[in-house]
């Protein structure tokens, strides 16, 4: 299996590049953000609980997202692999993912970390907020999401660097240019 974590700050292009990876490598996409937004839309109990955190730009508690992941990950021989988008976001989640994969004799092959300047991140998210009206794409919430990323999520890079799995990708430029950088890394992997 080819298992990829796509990593980066809010607005760094994780969702956009995931779609291109799915198209080219036929991976199964797991986006915890998309799943949580669907729960909110469907007005489920889980969605109601998650919205309290998401609307403030805070992380949904680890046990909630780890449970979601356990439900979604299915180890089937015909699956090419997975792309984990927006998960893990804490060290606890990173360890849970490693344990889950280890239990299936699988592993993360690479962590693609999209590196984008903070001013560009803010600009992209404000622009999206004006068009799509995502609840958390407001100036105050964007600020708090970026702080949460720097404080709680960015330290995971060290965790993956120690495992020699971290690939820093320049996430500035056009979507196509960034994908070309990603392809170079993925095509070199032995899986
Ligand atoms: P999530 O949905 O994961 O959002 P996020 O990390 O804030 O990321 P975004 O979706 O905003 O950005 P992205 O990096 O995917 O970029 P995108 O491709 O969309 O999480 C939302 C919330 O859910 C969290 O805050 C948290 O509360 C909760 N949550 C989710 N997972 C969790 C977890 N594991 N644990 C705890 N809580 C969790 O692009 C952004 C915009 O930029 C788009 O408009 C796009 O068109 C544009 N764009 C993309 N690439 C380019 C480019 N190269 N040039 C110009 N524009 C571009």
Known catalytic membership, residue 20 = no
Distance of CA 57 to the CA centre of its chain: 15
Q: Using pLDDT thresholds of 50, 70 and 90, give the confidence band for residue 78.
A: confident
Known catalytic membership, residue 181 = no
Token pair 């180890």: residue:
75
pLDDT tens for 48-61 read 999 999 999 999 99
Ligand 1 closest atom vs CA 132 = 44
pLDDT tens for 159-190 read 999 999 999 999 999 999 999 999 999 999 99
Q: What is the pLDDT of residue 9?
A: 98
d(CA 150, CA 174): 24
Is pLDDT of 29 > 90? Answer: yes
Take atom 27 of ligand 1 and give the residue whose Cα is closest.
Answer: 54
Q: What is the pLDDT of residue 57?
A: 97
For a mutational test of ligand 1's pocket, the pick from 8, 30, 32, i.e. the residue with the most ligand atoms closer than 8 A to its C-beta, is 32
Torsion of CA 102, 104, 109, 110, to 10 degrees: -70
Is the beta carbon of 69 within 6 A of some atom in ligand 1?
A: no
Residue among 56, 79, 107, 134 flagged as catalytic:
134
| Ligand 1 centroid from CA 19, angstroms | 13
Is the beta carbon of 141 within 6 A of some atom in ligand 1?
A: no
Dihedral over Cα of 72, 78, 84, 87: its sign: positive
In the chain, what percentage of residues exceed pLDDT 90?
Answer: 93
Average pLDDT over residues 71-87: 90
Q: What is the pLDDT of residue 8?
A: 98
pTM over 0.85: yes
| Ligand 1 centroid from CA 12, angstroms | 7
Is pLDDT of 75 > 80? Answer: no
Q: What is the pLDDT of residue 77?
A: 79
Q: Using pLDDT thresholds of 50, 70 and 90, give the confidence band for residue 76.
A: confident
Average pLDDT over residues 59-69: 96
Q: Is 66 exposed, middle or buried (0-12, 13-18, 19+ CB in 10 A)?
A: buried
User: Within 10 Å of residue 164's Cβ, how many Cβ atoms?
Assistant: 8
Average pLDDT over residues 99-114: 96
For a mutational test of ligand 1's pocket, the pick from 6, 11, 34, 49, i.e. the residue with the most ligand atoms closer than 8 A to its C-beta, is 11
Ligand 1 closest atom vs CA 90 = 35
Ligand 1 closest atom vs CA 31 = 3
Is pLDDT of 149 > 90? Answer: yes
Average pLDDT over residues 110-133: 95
For 121, 123, 159, the CA distances from 166, given in Å and listed in that order, are 21, 26, 9
Q: What is the pLDDT of residue 124?
A: 97
User: Within 10 Å of residue 77's Cβ, how many Cβ atoms?
Assistant: 5
Take atom 47 of ligand 1 and give the residue whose Cα is closest.
Answer: 124
Q: What is the pLDDT of residue 191?
A: 87
Q: Using pLDDT thresholds of 50, 70 and 90, give the confidence band for residue 135.
A: confident
3-state secondary structure the chain: CCCEEEEECCCCCHHHHHHHHHHHHCCEEEEHHHHHHHHHHCCCHHHHHHHHHHCCCCCCCHHHHHHHHHHHCCCCCCCCCEEEECCCCCHHHHHHHHHHHHHCCCCCCEEEEEECCHHHHHHHHHHHHHHHCCCCCCHHHHHHHHHHHHHHHCCHHHHHHHCCCEEEEECCCCHHHHHHHHHHHHHCCCC
Q: What is the pLDDT of residue 23?
A: 97
């Amino acid at each position: 299996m080819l298992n990829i974590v796509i990593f980066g700050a809010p607005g760094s292009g994780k969702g956009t590049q995931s779609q291109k990876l799915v198209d080219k490598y036929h991976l199964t996409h797991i986006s915890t953000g998309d799943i949580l937004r669907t729960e909110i839309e469907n007005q489920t109990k889980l969605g109601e609980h998650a919205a309290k955190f998401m609307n403030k730009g805070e992380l949904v508690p680890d046990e909630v997202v780890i449970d979601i992941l356990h439900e979604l990950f299915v180890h089937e021989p015909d699956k090419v692999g997975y792309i984990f988008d927006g998960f893990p976001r804490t060290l606890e989640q990173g360890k849970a993912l490693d344990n889950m994969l280890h239990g299936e004799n699988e592993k993360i092959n690479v962590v693609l970390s999209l590196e984008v300047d903070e001013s560009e991140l803010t600009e992209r998210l404000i622009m999206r907020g004006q068009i799509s009206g995502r609840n958390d794409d407001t100036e105050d919430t964007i600020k708090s999401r970026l702080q949460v990323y720097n404080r709680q999520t960015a330290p995971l890079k060290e965790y993956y660097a120690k495992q020699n799995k971290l690939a820093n990708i320049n996430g500035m430029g056009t979507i196509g240019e960034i994908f070309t950088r990603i392809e170079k890394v993925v095509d070199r992997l032995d899986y």
